[in-house]
Chains A and B, each alone.
Chain A
Amino acid sequence: MSSLLEIRETIKQFYCKNEVYVNPILKFLAALVALLMINASMGYMEVLNSAVIVLVVALMCSFMPRNFVVLISALFVLMHTYALSMECAIVVLAVFVLMFLLYFRFTPKDTKIVLLTPLLFVVKIPYVMPVAVGLLGGPISIIAVSCGVVVRFMIRFMKDNFATFSAEDAQTGSQKFRLMIDGILDNKAMLVTIIVFAVTTILVYTIRRLSADHAWSIAIMVGIACNAVLLLVCEFLLDLNLSVLEILLGNVVALFVCQVIRLMEFNVDYGRTETVQFEDDEYYYYVKAVPKNTVAVSEKKVKRINKQQKNKTVKPVKKVSTIKTAHGVSRTTASKVEDRNKQ
């Protein structure tokens, strides 16, 4: 445990020292991962699949504001969709614009959740998202998670119906358009996922705000259990074509990831909890103070030994003590000796 805390402190210190370099690198990596994942799961436009373009765009993102990564990712999705079918691109563009106008205009900080949710779906651990949002955010962020889920299911629907959308003469434009909208609105698995994630987020948020001991750990466990149980029940009742093994394994990994988040964000020592009670003119106060776990990072000292220093005879340092001079001014014995030498 203490070694984990030490790692956390080291990371913090490293970030504080090198913030100027770390931020662009992190943005570059985030953009790179996002764009590569989008290309891997869509990849309908050949030009965008080029490694050079991905690298250049990711590099550009590293010098731009954080939300630029989200904007570029949305643009990539849109262009891939356009390469597949123009009707799909119109629907995707409409969905993105609606998301921006109706929600992200108010809370621009939540845009990263929309980007992260589909990416976590790609690596099969989307169950991290509702729990993490419940721990670190508020219930209003459910809308952002839901938007992320919609984007993910939209992309998957296009992938599943690739043959239908790419065939030029098989269907008319309006039929493709209708199919795409139906694919979004009549998607049972998407609706169930949105509802389950919303319930989980509210549950986690409510529990972690309690003043009970180990509230965060309990919130994580209850959240993960709720996620897994609700999804499995819905899968058995509604036959959503979700993989049971994926749900179980994904939730186990999510539990681990959420514990790491807890360690980084909320690490307290309940053993040293203090309960104090006091009053002023207007109120009685019942205060519970839980101390944070902190560990001092041991600093590495590098001792340089070179030849010159070895050959030099090191004089013993004189003990410095103050003496009174004739004028009443304090001086040190060391400086007095120095004065004598000068004379």
Chain B
Amino acid sequence: MINEERVRLMTRMAAYEENEFRKHKAVVGFFRADYISLQVVKTVISTTIAYAILLGLYIMYDFEKFMKDIYQMDMVSFIKTVAILYLVMLGIFLLVTYALSLYRYNRSLQSTKLYYGNLKKLSHLYGEEE
């Protein structure tokens, strides 16, 4: 005879496995600190590239004027400004990344815990029937 509770549980679990389980499993495969560190490293790389593109666009916008002024401008203050802006941008993105990856890790952990709990429950249901 069909055990309705078991079928319901299996359907729910199959839907989860089909959609998000693989993603969540990959996240939970890391320790929390390792996962967040990896995301932070990725953000540092991507933000640095993005900043380089923005800086490149800024210089290219008026390249001739920039080349003319380059020998007269205060290079130290220019580099300082560029570095400060880079650090501000990096800081903002690191904060966002930290908050987002913490939230995602916790959500993945909860979902996978629930999934394994359901797996245990399913095993009990089979045991009861036997």
B and A form one assembly = yes
| A178 interfacial by beta-carbon distance below 8 Å | yes
Q: Which of B49-57, B73-81, B110-118 contacts A (4 or more CB under 8 A)?
A: B49-57
A98 to B56 alpha-carbon distance, docked (Å): 12
Chain A residues whose CB sits within 8 angstroms of the CB of B96 once the complex forms = 106
Cβ of B54: which chain A residues have Cβ within 8 Å of it?
98
Would you give the 0/1 interface string for A208-245, flagging 1 where the beta carbon is closer than 8 Å to chain B? 00000000000000000000000000000000000000
Within 8 A of A (CB), among B79-118: 93, 96-97, 100
Tell me if A177 and B61 are in contact (CB < 8 A): yes
* Distance of A177 Cα from B97 Cα, bound (Å): 33
Closest to A185 in B: B61
- A contact residues around B46 at 8 Å (CB): 101-102, 105
B60 interface residue (CB < 8 Å to A) = yes
CB distance from B90 to the nearest CB of A (A): 12
Chain B residues lying within 8 Å of A177, measured Cβ to Cβ, are 60-61
Chain B at the A interface: SS class: helix
Is B63 an interface residue when CB atoms closer than 8 A count as contact?
yes
- With beta carbons under 8 angstroms apart, the residue of B42, B50, B64, B97 that contacts A97 is B50
The answer to whether the Cβ of A91 comes within 8 Å of any Cβ in the partner chain is: yes
Inter-chain contacts of A105 with B (CB < 8 A): 42, 46
Separation of A102 and B49 alpha carbons in the complex (Å): 10
Size band of the A side of the interface?
10 to 19
Contacts of A98 in B (CB 8 A): 50, 53-54
Verify A91–B50 contact, CB threshold 8 A.
no
> Would you call A102 and B62 a contact (CB within 8 A)?
no
B92 → chain A, closest Cβ, in Å? 10
A90-B61 Cα distance, complex, nearest whole Å: 12
CB contacts under 8 Å to B, within A53-108, are 90-91, 94, 97-98, 101-102, 105-106
A341 on interface, CB distance cutoff 8 Å: no
Within 8 A of B (CB), among A163-182: 174, 177-178, 181
A98–B54 alpha-carbon span in the complex (Å)? 8
Chain B neighbourhood of A91, CB < 8 A: 57
Q: CB-nearest residue of chain B relative to A174?
A: B63
Inside 8 A of B93's CB, which chain A residues have their CB? 102
Pairwise interchain contact B53-A178, C-beta atoms closer than 8 A = no
In Å, the complex CA distance between A90 and B64 comes to: 18
Please name the residue on chain B nearest to A177 by beta carbon. Answer: B60
Closest to A107 in B: B100
Tell me the minimal C-beta distance from B67 to chain A in angstroms.
11
Distance in angstroms between the alpha carbons of A17 and B40 in the assembled complex: 43
Distance in Å: Cβ of B103 to nearest Cβ of chain A: 11
Q: Chain B residues near A102 (CB, 8 Å)?
A: 46-47, 50, 93
**Are the C-beta atoms of A97 and B53 separated by less than 8 Å?**
yes
B-side contacts of A97, CB under 8 Å: 49-50, 53
What B residues does A94 contact at CB under 8 A?
53, 56-57
Q: Are B61 and A178 in contact (CB under 8 A)?
A: yes
Central interface residue in B54, B61, B64, by most chain A CB within 10 Å:
B61
Q: In whole angstroms, how far apart are the Cα atoms of A237 and B42 in the complex?
A: 44
Cα distance A311–B93 when bound, in Å?
Answer: 80
Among residues of A, the one whose C-beta sits closest to the C-beta of B63 is A174
Docked pose: A90 CA to B97 CA in angstroms: 28
A-B contact pairs, 15 of them (CB 8 A): A90-B60, A97-B49, A97-B53, A98-B53, A98-B54, A101-B46, A101-B49, A102-B50, A102-B93, A105-B42, A174-B60, A174-B64, A177-B60, A178-B61, A181-B57
Kindly list the 3 A-B residue pairs having the minimum CB-CB distance in the complex, ordered from nearest: A101-B46, A101-B50, A94-B53
State the B residues within 8 Å of A (CB). Answer: 42, 46-47, 49-50, 53-54, 56-57, 60-64, 93, 96-97, 100
Residues of A near any B CB (own CB < 8 A)? 90-91, 94, 97-98, 101-102, 105-106, 174, 177-178, 181
